[in-house]
Amino acid sequence: MKYINIKNCFLKFIKILFPSTRNEGIIFLMLLILYIPLGIYFSFFSTIIYNEKIPWDIYFSFDNRSIILSGGMIEKHPFSYYFIMPIFNLANWFYHINNNLGFFNVIFTVFCAVNVSLGIVFVYKYLTNIINLKTKTTYLIIIFYTFFSTNILLSFTPETYTFSIFLLSFYTYISALFINRQKKIPLIFNTIMGIFIGGETITNLPKTYIPLFFENKKFNLKEFLTAALKTLFSIVIFVLLYLWRRDWDYMKILSKSATQYEKFSNPKGETWWNMITSYFFGGNMLFPSFIEKNLRFFKIQYKALYYHIYDQPLQYIFCLSIFLFMIGSLIANRKNKLLYILGFSFLIDIIIHGFMKFGLWVSFIYGGHWVFVVPLLLGWLFYALRNNKKIYKMLFIFLGLLTLYLIINNLFRLSEFINFVNKYYKI
């Protein structure tokens, strides 16, 4: 009997983790068809995925080679090494069989495409199973989200953010599923997800605890203290593993973390407002124009591609529209605790990058930590307007126009990116 129960739980988990309906399967397949060819092209015909001479910053401050070889800095990504190494070993095996770096690269790019595609499927599951949106509206939001600059870039970029967007999208959906069914999130499961999500990028750790405080319909001191104890337990486990990973040298952790904060919290170049709009918020959805820079790694000089600030009124109109939709969604659904989970999750990123200014001038790379919140808040906005057919239809049409603009803009910028790759890094 116990065996049957474990088997049923496992099968339910698999259905949540992977596409389990015809529509989910079709969406997943279409996403792979869209994303994988791009990764294949870059894998076999360029050196941007894994460049043997340049470890980082070839495009948009991503650290491809560094992440592939080590998983990134232990202080920021304590357990990333353990996620990346199985993929590295598989890629290395393919490389030695074929003696072609393209096969090494393509293992990573296919994995990235699968990760991003599954993340979008989780958003679809949320819109369908949690919000119960109309089918046409759900598809429009999914198309809109599919062409976000973050999803396009992470679909072929081996980075910690590629893991994060998958893990956070999954946890956001499954925690909402527990709460929607009025069930408690299991302590062990929450602790494991904390290790996975926080282990990939430590600043995302608090996001795994937010749902624990919204499991009940009404505020209850006893339940609040229970959630606090669960959080404390999970934090203790995480900290012990973190210290073990760093050979219990907590002074080294504090020293390096302080150095990193000092290094990455002094914005360069543009004004705070421009960086928030063009890099942190807008840049993770809508590509701005690009600028080429000359960089040096020891004696090697190389070309790098970076974001420019927005320079067209339509780009600002797009950002303002999405921002107002998100605020409107939070206000219209202010009595819904699932909205608070999304809001507080995004607030963590706003505090880190907006107010603490950590990595603000390259915050266009951090979209994997929060962009999935945008389609979910849009979904909740449509839900709040479901009885007002006129406004609902107007919003649908307006989002359709924004989607069209997003696709045209991002595909054009993607062509510029491909031209950059062909010019400087083509094999």
Place of tokens 């072929």: 156
Mean pLDDT of the chain: 92
Element (H, E) at 307: strand 300-307
- Checking if the pLDDT of 205 tops 90, the result is yes
Residues 265-286: tens digit of each pLDDT: 676 667 888 899 999 999 999 9
Residues 221-264: tens digit of each pLDDT: 888 899 999 999 999 999 999 999 887 877 777 777 767 666 66
**How many Å apart are CA 248 and CA 73, to the nearest integer?**
16
pLDDT score recorded for residue 359: 83
**How many Å apart are CA 399 and CA 397, to the nearest integer?**
5
Residue 284 or residue 99, greater confidence: 284
- Checking if the pLDDT of 379 tops 90, the result is yes
Q: pLDDT grade, residue 41 (50/70/90)? A: very high
Residues 150-177: tens digit of each pLDDT: 999 999 999 999 999 999 999 999 999 9
Helix axes 313-332, 389-424, angle to 10 degrees: 130
Residues 306-325: tens digit of each pLDDT: 999 999 999 999 999 999 99
Residues 6+ apart with CB under 8 A from 424: 302, 303
Calculate what percentage of the chain has a pLDDT beyond 70.
96
pLDDT score recorded for residue 268: 66
- Checking if the pLDDT of 149 tops 70, the result is yes
Span 25-47, average pLDDT: 96
Cβ atoms of 113 and 155 closer than 8 Å: yes
Span 403-414, average pLDDT: 98
Tokens of 370: 């929060």
Calculate what percentage of the chain has a pLDDT beyond 90.
73
pLDDT score recorded for residue 111: 96
Place of tokens 């012990």: 240
**How many Å apart are CA 382 and CA 365, to the nearest integer?**
29
Residues 106-133: tens digit of each pLDDT: 999 999 999 999 999 999 999 999 999 9
**How many Å apart are CA 153 and CA 141, to the nearest integer?**
19
Helix axes 160-180, 187-200, angle to 10 degrees: 160
Residues 321-373: tens digit of each pLDDT: 999 999 999 999 999 999 999 999 999 999 999 888 888 888 889 999 999 99
pLDDT score recorded for residue 7: 74
pLDDT score recorded for residue 255: 74
Could you tell me the pTM of the whole model? 0.94
Residue 219 or residue 38, greater confidence: 38
